[in-house]
Amino acid sequence: MDLWNGEALVDAPEVTEFLHEQLGREPSLAALSEVEYQPRTTNEIGTIFRAVWAPTGESVVVKLNATPIELDWMLEVSRRAPELVPQVYASGRRLGAVDLGWLVLRRAPHCIDFGCPDDCRELMFAAARFQQVACDIDKVTYPPIDAAFFEWCMPEAIKAACPGPAEEVLARLHDDLRWVDEQSPRVRSHGDVYFDNVLSEIPGGPLLLIDPTPRTANWAWDAAYAQVLSGKESTPRLVPLLSEARHSLGLPTGHPATLERLETILLAWSSMLWWGIKPVRRTDPWFARRVRRNLERCVSAPPG
């Protein structure tokens, strides 16, 4: 059976058999016991197993199908800021005869409530800390969040009847982007900060980021990205929280007077991204209203 469907490992018992075969062959996996497949709950790309790290009895997670960029970044971040990601017990780029990235991470079973202001503040602190650590990590990243990125996703949103003045947001993209870039230089960031990619080992414990998709973007992009993805009315405004977090770490955020304009533009862009690439969200009336409002706000002021 082909375990690979072109994008992810297939969600089938054969994948578990494959991992069990590798336990006896790959020395770094020999320490695993009680390996148990975790069926997918969302459209994750990774294949997740629970297991026990036999030498210490600690609970771990094995992720198959980690990308080479993810592996590099998890290892670098865990070396420089071990408090920011789950402990990495082992990792590799091949398994058996297959080019397949894998990670063994300490299990962090608790999620956050993205309607809770304290949880969101902590999440934005973790995002800021990641940006701080990422400054010095000179590893390959995914393509930047730049004009080309939006010239790809905005037409997707428009084709899918994005609510609000979507054509206008695209038409002024270059002027707005020039203004955004003038406010603060782009930074390397986690790139997929949202509520499924943040965990903690104990309820209310320190937050740990997983699944980095490092990209260069305006510092506030991580917050605007998570805000639109949250889908909750009660999620507080994340851009000001990320700004506070960066400030507390001594990182620049541009002039405070421009923060609201920056937030408005990035929320419009993030709205078009998520409208374009997440068809399931389009039937949610709250989301559609939110997207329309974000786009209307963006075009209510002259470009830039």
Ligand X SMILES: Nc1ncnc2c1ncn2[C@@H]1O[C@H](COP(=O)(O)OP(=O)(O)O)[C@@H](O)[C@H]1O
For the purposes of burial, counting CB atoms within 10 Å of the CB of 303, is it exposed (0-12), middle (13-18) or buried (19 or more)?
middle
Among 107, 139, 174, 293, binds ligand X (CB under 6 A): 107
Choose the contact partner of 167 out of ligand X, Mg ion, none; CB within 5 to 8 A by kind.
none
Interacting residues with Mg ion between 169 and 188 (CB under 5 A): none
Query: Which residue stretch of 22-30, 104-112, 115-123, 143-151 sits at the interface with ligand X (rule: CB under 6 A)?
Result: 104-112
**Is residue 108 part of the contact set for ligand X (CB under 6 A)?**
yes
In the complex, minimum distance from the CB of residue 229 to ligand X, in angstroms, rounded to a whole number = 13
Give the number of residues in contact with Mg ion, rule: CB under 5 A: 2
**Is residue 210 part of the contact set for ligand X (CB under 6 A)?**
yes
Query: Which residue stretch of 61-69, 153-161, 203-211, 280-288 sits at the interface with Mg ion (rule: CB under 5 A)?
Result: 203-211
**Is residue 110 part of the contact set for ligand X (CB under 6 A)?**
no
For the residues of 84-124, what is the DSSP string, one character each?
A: SS--EEEEEEEETTEEEEEEEEE---B---TT-HHHHHHHH
The residue of the chain with the least Cβ separation from ligand X equals 44
Residue 22 CA: distances (Å) to CA of 13, 33, 93, 284: 15, 12, 13, 43
Q: Is 32 helix (H, G, I), strand (E, B) or coil?
A: strand
Answer yes or no: are the C-beta atoms of 154 and 169 closer than 8 Å. yes
Identify which of residues 163 and 212 has a Cβ nearer to Mg ion in the complex. Answer: 212
CA dist., res. 28 & res. 30, Å (int): 6
Among 72, 176, 211, 263, binds ligand X (CB under 6 A): 211
Choose the contact partner of 157 out of ligand X, Mg ion, none; CB within 5 to 8 A by kind.
none
In the complex, minimum distance from the CB of residue 70 to ligand X, in angstroms, rounded to a whole number = 7
Instruction: Name the one residue in this structure whose structure tokens are 């969200």.
Output: 281
**Is residue 196 part of the contact set for ligand X (CB under 6 A)?**
yes
Choose the contact partner of 61 out of ligand X, Mg ion, none; CB within 5 to 8 A by kind.
ligand X
Backbone phi and psi for residue 128, each to the nearest 5 degrees, phi listed first: -65, -40
Q: Is 211 helix (H, G, I), strand (E, B) or coil?
A: coil
Choose the contact partner of 62 out of ligand X, Mg ion, none; CB within 5 to 8 A by kind.
none
**DSSP structure class, residue 235:** P
Residues 6+ away with beta carbon under 8 Å from 20: 35
Answer yes or no: are the C-beta atoms of 198 and 208 closer than 8 Å. yes
Interacting residues with ligand X between 268 and 297 (CB under 6 A): none
Interface mask toward Mg ion for 210-239; x: CB under 5 A: -x----------------------------
CA angle 135, 136, 137 (to 5 degrees): 100
Answer yes or no: are the C-beta atoms of 47 and 8 closer than 8 Å. yes
Interface mask toward ligand X for 43-62; x: CB under 6 A: -xxx-x------------x-
Helical segments of the chain, H only: 13-23, 68-80, 117-134, 147-159, 166-171, 173-183, 221-230, 238-248, 259-277, 285-299
Query: Which residue stretch of 40-48, 148-156, 178-186, 222-230 sits at the interface with ligand X (rule: CB under 6 A)?
Result: 40-48
**Is residue 81 part of the contact set for ligand X (CB under 6 A)?**
no
Residues found near Mg ion in the complex (CB under 5 A): 197, 211
Residues found near ligand X in the complex (CB under 6 A): 44-46, 48, 61, 63, 86, 105, 107-109, 196-197, 199, 210-211
